[in-house]
């Protein structure tokens, strides 16, 4: 183990100890975790010294139960009693939306999403996401962190922020049969906004990026950067966007995440012309924003066991911030476990996507 990797693990565990002390402290914790503390059978503050201890002593977090039934007031930490907050929703792909509590602020010291996107902003190339100018967001609105996060990016880069709202809840409703018509409507609205407002950079789900590219030439739009997320991005899709649609003239930055787990940023993408050791061409490797997001790729039959590097497993995520603590939540998606390097000193994941039994099931639509 290199010094960089060991230091990252030590910083992760030190951060986790502080978060545990906050959420299980009588003066700072929320009602939910203080009530759970009575039934755990151990004192988290004294018992949890790092991620290994957390895996040993905590079971998997029951998101289906807790995130759909616990009242909003029970999630707000006592230590943030004076702060304005809200319940952020997921998209609801696997049923009724799950929710998490968070503060509303563009200050990275005061809200999780602002910290995530401020950190992410430091990874974006200035050529593709220039300061000044304008940003166009095409995606879900409503009580979600994603549009607020992209708005933080625009704020940091002093860009005008424009939004085309996508009604994910309507699209996921099995009683609706017009998703293709809705997709076409979104594409036309997006093309109109691109031609009219000439944004410098865009957030857009990759399915819409491709659909827009069937009707207009992306390289003639004046768009300098595209930040894409919200849909499984297989290597063929990434290759099509980078080579056929953007042709090396538009910076492409993928991301993975949701309201519960935060944001994961990409490692540099390998191509045929620029190979990277340990990475397949056009396969995206995502890196969680540790120490706030702790990701493990686990054996689906025993989530305490990690799979070997290069092997697929189920993603298990611990979100550890002062606003929100969620230990060992098993995500819907599978991924391949990727080894850390000195440049990326903790585990990454690639080939993220739903497990075989869910592929092709449900209404993915445009998001």
Q: Report yes or no on 153 lying in a domain.
A: yes
* Model pLDDT, residue 81: 96
Which range of residues forms the domain containing residue 331? 3-358
CATH number at residue 315: 3.40.50.12780
Q: Report yes or no on 352 lying in a domain.
A: yes
Q: Report yes or no on 143 lying in a domain.
A: yes
| Domains of the chain: total | 1
Of 264, 283, 262, nearest in space to 272 by CA: 283
Q: Where are the alpha helices (DSSP H) in the chain?
A: 3-23, 31-37, 44-47, 51-57, 63-69, 112-121, 145-156, 168-172, 179-197, 206-213, 235-239
Structural contact between residues 323 and 111, judged by C-beta atoms closer than 8 angstroms = yes
Q: Report yes or no on 269 lying in a domain.
A: yes
Q: Report yes or no on 309 lying in a domain.
A: yes
Q: Report yes or no on 238 lying in a domain.
A: yes
* Model pLDDT, residue 231: 76
Structural contact between residues 201 and 138, judged by C-beta atoms closer than 8 angstroms = no
* Model pLDDT, residue 177: 64
* Model pLDDT, residue 354: 86
Tens of each residue's pLDDT in the chain, 367 residues:
899 999 999 999 999 999 999 999 999 999 999 999 999 999 999 999 999 999 999 999 999 999 999 999 999 999 999 999 999 998 655 567 899 999 999 999 999 999 999 999 999 999 999 999 999 999 988 889 999 999 999 999 999 999 999 887 666 666 666 667 888 999 999 999 999 999 999 999 999 999 999 999 999 999 999 999 877 899 999 999 999 999 999 999 999 988 898 999 999 999 999 999 889 999 999 999 999 999 999 999 999 999 999 999 999 999 999 999 999 999 989 999 999 999 999 999 999 988 877 665 544 455 5
pTM over 0.85: yes
* Model pLDDT, residue 142: 83
Helix (H, G, I), strand (E, B) or coil at 11: helix
Sign of the dihedral defined by the CA atoms of residues 24, 27, 31, 35, in that order? positive
Q: Report yes or no on 37 lying in a domain.
A: yes
Q: Report yes or no on 365 lying in a domain.
A: no
């Amino acid at each position: 183990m290199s010094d960089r990797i060991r230091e990252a693990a030590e910083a992760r565990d030190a951060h986790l100890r502080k978060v545990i002390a906050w959420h299980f402290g009588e003066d700072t914790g929320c009602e939910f975790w203080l009530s759970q503390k009575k039934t755990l059978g151990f004192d988290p503050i004294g018992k949890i010294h790092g991620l290994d201890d957390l895996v040993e002593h905590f079971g998997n977090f029951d998101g289906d139960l807790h995130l759909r039934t616990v009242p909003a007031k029970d999630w707000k930490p006592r230590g943030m009693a004076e702060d304005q907050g809200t319940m952020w929703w997921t998209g609801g792909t696997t049923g009724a939306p799950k929710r998490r509590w968070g503060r509303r602020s563009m200050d990275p010291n005061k809200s999780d999403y602002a910290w995530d996107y401020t950190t992410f902003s430091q990874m974006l190339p200035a050529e593709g996401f220039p300061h000044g100018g304008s940003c166009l967001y095409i995606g879900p609105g409503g009580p979600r962190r994603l549009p607020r996060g992209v708005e933080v990016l625009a704020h940091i880069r002093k860009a005008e922020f424009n939004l085309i709202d996508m009604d994910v809840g309507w699209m996921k409703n099995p009683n609706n049969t017009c998703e293709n018509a809705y997709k076409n409507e979104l594409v036309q609205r997006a093309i109109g906004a691109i031609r009219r407002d000439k944004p410098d950079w865009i957030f857009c789900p990759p399915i819409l990026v491709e659909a827009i590219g069937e009707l207009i030439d992306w390289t003639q739009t004046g768009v300098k950067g595209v930040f894409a997320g919200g849909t499984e991005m297989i290597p063929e899709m990434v290759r099509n966007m980078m080579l056929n649609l953007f042709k090396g003239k538009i910076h492409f930055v993928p991301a993975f995440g949701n309201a519960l787990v935060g944001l994961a940023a990409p490692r540099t993408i390998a191509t045929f012309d620029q190979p990277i050791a340990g990475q397949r061409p056009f396969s995206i490797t995502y890196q969680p924003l540790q120490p706030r997001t702790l990701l493990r790729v686990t054996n689906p039959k025993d989530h305490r066991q990690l799979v070997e590097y290069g092997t697929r497993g189920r993603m298990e995520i611990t979100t550890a911030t002062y606003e929100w603590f969620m230990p060992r939540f098993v995500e819907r998606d599978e991924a391949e476990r990727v080894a850390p390097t000195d440049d990326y000193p903790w585990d990454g994941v690639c080939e993220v996507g739903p497990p075989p039994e869910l592929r092709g099931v449900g209404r993915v639509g445009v998001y």
